[in-house]
Structure 1
């Protein structure tokens, strides 16, 4: 019926418009030679820019080329060239000596800039020390030549770290470089045939669940590669807006390599299983992982020049570094070059290049990779350019920013929050996830952030690498901001998730509309409800009770994300200070299909001593389907001195690792 009515309406309107056109034509015919204005059509031509370096057999840049000297091929097909422009940082006098037949305009002062990144993730300590003396010499020579340098580092704990903004000051450069160290992580992993480090994973700065040595090594290699990808993605995102070709000197003894590691061959990568909920890495091939970085760098004209302190000869075919440099239009450098050679190479590469504007085959962005090849018609010349491009939409750019935060959540601290999550069994292999976000509002207020809404992403992935579960929610902070609250508390409960028991890597991300990102990672244990399993402690939480009339069955969840009890709701704490005057509520959930009664004892241990907490059981529930018992106790904190404590539960003959909670009591 709706379709017929629509057709009828369309026909009526069509008749009206045809009548109007007929009447208008009679009026126009009656007008005595009235001038009709000429229509003007605006044509928009879409162009792509590709930066090109042309050199002779000795590596010297060749100026003076024009559009007739070049050919551009996209996806194997020739494309029309619109223009060719020589981009140069040389002054007018220098150019006039090279090409005397051309009259150059007044000099335009361009900034000579170089980004310098020290890869503290993959470069061993001894190799980094070896590189520093030579790199310090090179950078100070470039500063004398008028170059400004930004110095950054890939750090295992902090991610991409800016050590110094752009500077020409030699003393600043030297002081900054003195702070740089190599990676113990790379050292341990490259010597992993020794079992000693596997027995002491804390050396590597990781908090991991119990794992086999094989599983631990796989995780460590995966983390190292994920951290490397995260740092590279973050650097590219930071420099999207900078104009022109961007030259990056990367000091690294090599990215995690395919050839030297069983985990980076084809089968091994299947076992690595990146935490990639947005699936930006679309293949298990090692080269496909690098291609994602290369394509993203090429989209913003970033070229990598990699200096490897471990190499005494250059191998352009086998290493990930050479792949990165070659396809971004850069060069691979090594110990065979003297400081003078390195300075000349970096100057030559940054001071002159051609920018070719050509008409691409597609009329609009399609999000696909397009291979680009540039040829020069003159004999004896070499051309270096980027391997191709992908035009990322704004949505794709945002996805890559989030992907970097999932790769290495510990690097992202611009939004300050705490995060707690537990698995609530519903039936075998079916769980609810119950959690809380506690967000500090003061840092947001200090930045004059007023939008009042923030995106919350929650993703979890099994350690063995099953599919990733991802949820997203838009949080409204306006009420708390207007009330002047210091914190925003958000409780949430997910829908049922069908998933196998096991350890899950879980990441929470908060992102503001101004693209500030905070991230937290925890390991979530989903209990096995097999009837043959021994009794176990599943969940252990502290919180407070909020008296209210029952809005649902006890031990179910309301829309507010709070746990319903008979005459109250349970609000879990999440790292906040606990007022000693309040009653403390304690929630226990145990898996035990037997008839015994649980009689736990609770103790607070801290600098002020040990305190036994007398408790009262106020509510209990037994779920016959899951075999889980849920118990809520209350106790008084009166007489407990303020301070930091460890709350433990004892007296339960149960397995499980969740028997301790850290809390802070105040008055």
Structure 2
């Protein structure tokens, strides 16, 4: 027989916890229908440091029971600095008193650049907690985005400035709001997935002045959510309805027996109308506190609902886990008692949990740095204004050699999304690093050309994510801007890629082999493989240009550095004119000659070509 466990809190009219109830005192309804109850157990959480001796009142071993734990999440993404400092001051005594009652506290701050930042980990020392509270900041972004009625927000330096892509004002505003909401979702998903691993009912105190939601904002009204165009290859945001996003967080929390208690430091009368905070607390069996809620009231409610609870085992309607949402209602037959319970549940498979981990990394790749890697991407013209994605992934192996539990296989995911579209392409590959590890190589290189991902001119966000066998995740974001190749337009360079040449089997020139490398007759071009040029060695350079006619191009290559600009001695290896794309591709072998050692930028000039300085550092060595 399959059983489902529910954690519920029962209080009297004064808010005091009611002990001594049995299965006869409860009724459970799933999707509107009564379900049989098999057992009811009163769970009393042990205090920090309590010995595993017999607890006579509960009749159980204290060491076998979950501990009194509270996770405090500071939402410095959406809460202004002054409000966050007010919250820390107002809740300081409450947290210290909970420590005195035997609670273990974990403090986490949602940082705009670093994501969930752990301040303490299951700590019982008041001095450590006080020191951690002093470091909690708040959000300048919230000030600019939420309060500015002018266009001051456009002046705020945000990570968008590093993307080297021109954005129109409306695009910038949309990305600012979308990024704020995606960062919020990423932090909540990541934090709840970690808390979920602990046993028993878990309590989270979420300090926030509200998630990104404004009825007057065109991106957060009843129909405008889709306008944000989430980078969501896993389909967590399924509709225009803002409540669907909140429901996703509620369902994940409920699947891990996590109750969310929200504290809003805003002092306005609109504070309790915060849709997200009220639904997070109500949906998970928590409470929604405001600035006007007294310290004693908060402390008493937290203690009453986090020190004891009933665990009800009942027979669910479905015989197996179906991944669907099931509405649950728990009632008591005793008049005057209030039951605090969850509104429902979704039973997630291991794959569904992993999907949410990966979705969080796509929402905010800058938060995930457990795995270090380098990624280079470019668009390869296949047909007229149709491109494939060509890339090189390099993974340093030092960390894999140190940590044996990491394993030898890595899951590699690449998502590509057009800036103004909802459509997202997702590719996935399992990489085996075993051979490179056994050969004691410093890094593992993986080259690829996409077969199913074909994109057209436009602006694209790309996110690459690596996930190891022990759950470590690393992510990177790269932006691509693909030109539209039209007739009667000036010539332009499509690709300029340094690399090196190796001998290979004779194949059709300018096609890709099974390794993702470019065939050149009897040689093979390896892209992005040469950032150092020892004296006497050869640097290979791929030039790809769009021309209205196959002009006789003779590009000249230069290295520009602090000591001047120096020409490279270049010899043509192979070239190809593709009538379908209107592009000519050429590979040259270049020697540095008598160029002094140092770091240089690659530059190309020539008749029929615009001058291009390539953002790639070349080191010339003795």
What range describes the TM-score normalised by the shorter chain of this pair? over 0.9
Q: Decide which of 73, 82, 90 is 1:134's aligned counterpart.
A: 90
Matched, 1:633 2:588: yes
CA distance in 2, matches of 1:315, 1:379: 32
Q: Decide which of 100, 113, 117 is 2:73's aligned counterpart.
A: 117
- The Cα shift of 1:654 comes to 5.7
State whether residues 385 and 581 of structure 2, in contact with CA within 8 Å, keep that contact through their aligned partners in structure 1.
no
Aligned to 1:646: 601
Give 3-state SS (helix, strand or coil) of 1:618's partner: strand
Matched, 1:621 2:587: no
Aligned to 1:367: 323
State whether residues 313 and 334 of structure 1, in contact with CA within 8 Å, keep that contact through their aligned partners in structure 2.
no
Q: Decide which of 15, 21, 27 is 1:71's aligned counterpart.
A: 27
Q: Decide which of 59, 83, 89 is 1:105's aligned counterpart.
A: 59
- The Cα shift of 1:348 comes to 1.9
Q: How does 1:123-522 map to 2 (within 5 A)?
A: 123-191=79-147, 193-198=149-154, 201-202=157-158, 207=163, 209-313=165-269, 316-449=272-405, 451-495=407-451, 497-522=453-478
Give 3-state SS (helix, strand or coil) of 1:236's partner: helix
Aligned to 2:52: none
CA distance in 2, matches of 1:656, 1:201: 30
CA distance in 2, matches of 1:203, 1:419: 18
Aligned to 2:510: 555
Q: Which moved more, 1:388-397 or 1:191-200?
A: 191-200
Aligned to 1:82: 38
CA distance in 2, matches of 1:657, 1:79: 71
State whether residues 568 and 593 of structure 2, in contact with CA within 8 Å, keep that contact through their aligned partners in structure 1.
no
Q: Which moved more, 1:231-240 or 1:652-661?
A: 652-661
Change beyond 3 A, Cα 1:214–1:356:
same
CA distance in 2, matches of 1:619, 1:295: 58
Q: Which moved more, 1:275-284 or 1:223-232?
A: 275-284
CA distance in 1, matches of 2:333, 2:612: 70
- The Cα shift of 1:567 comes to 2.8
CA distance in 2, matches of 1:135, 1:606: 56
CA distance in 2, matches of 1:509, 1:656: 34
How many residue pairs get aligned? The number is 612
Give 3-state SS (helix, strand or coil) of 2:62's partner: coil
Give 3-state SS (helix, strand or coil) of 1:336's partner: coil
Query: Cα deviation per residue 1:583-636 (whole Å; 9 max; x = unaligned)?
Result: 111112111214544444434344555444343333222111111111222222
CA distance in 2, matches of 1:417, 1:486: 12
Change beyond 3 A, Cα 1:579–1:160:
farther
Give 3-state SS (helix, strand or coil) of 1:111's partner: coil
Change beyond 3 A, Cα 1:341–1:272:
same
CA distance in 2, matches of 1:450, 1:350: 36
Change beyond 3 A, Cα 1:581–1:178:
farther
Give 3-state SS (helix, strand or coil) of 2:94's partner: helix
Q: Which moved more, 1:254-263 or 1:166-175?
A: 254-263
Query: Cα deviation per residue 1:19-68 (whole Å; 9 max; x = unaligned)?
Result: xxxxxxxxxxxxxxxxxxxxxxxxxx111111111122222222222212
CA distance in 2, matches of 1:494, 1:139: 53
CA distance in 1, matches of 2:411, 2:60: 50
CA distance in 2, matches of 1:650, 1:178: 56
Q: TM-score, normalised by structure 2?
A: 0.92
- The Cα shift of 1:132 comes to 2.0
- The Cα shift of 1:337 comes to 2.5
CA RMSD of aligned residues (A): 2.5
State whether residues 462 and 505 of structure 1, in contact with CA within 8 Å, keep that contact through their aligned partners in structure 2.
yes
Q: Which moved more, 1:371-380 or 1:133-142?
A: 133-142
Q: Decide which of 525, 528, 534 is 1:570's aligned counterpart.
A: 525
- The Cα shift of 1:388 comes to 0.5
Q: TM-score, normalised by structure 1?
A: 0.86
- The Cα shift of 1:375 comes to 1.1
Change beyond 3 A, Cα 1:64–1:406:
same
State whether residues 258 and 286 of structure 1, in contact with CA within 8 Å, keep that contact through their aligned partners in structure 2.
no
Q: Which is higher, the Rg of structure 1 or of structure 2?
A: 1
CA distance in 1, matches of 2:523, 2:446: 18
Change beyond 3 A, Cα 1:449–1:531:
farther
Aligned to 2:51: none
CA distance in 2, matches of 1:137, 1:608: 62
- The Cα shift of 1:444 comes to 1.0
Change beyond 3 A, Cα 1:208–1:157:
farther
CA distance in 2, matches of 1:203, 1:466: 22
CA distance in 2, matches of 1:191, 1:574: 48
Q: Structure 1 regions of 5+ residues with no counterpart?
A: 1-44, 92-101
State whether residues 313 and 336 of structure 1, in contact with CA within 8 Å, keep that contact through their aligned partners in structure 2.
no
Change beyond 3 A, Cα 1:288–1:655:
farther
Query: Cα deviation per residue 1:68-114 (whole Å; 9 max; x = unaligned)?
Result: 221110000011111111112378xxxxxxxxxx9653772652211
State whether residues 271 and 290 of structure 2, in contact with CA within 8 Å, keep that contact through their aligned partners in structure 1.
no
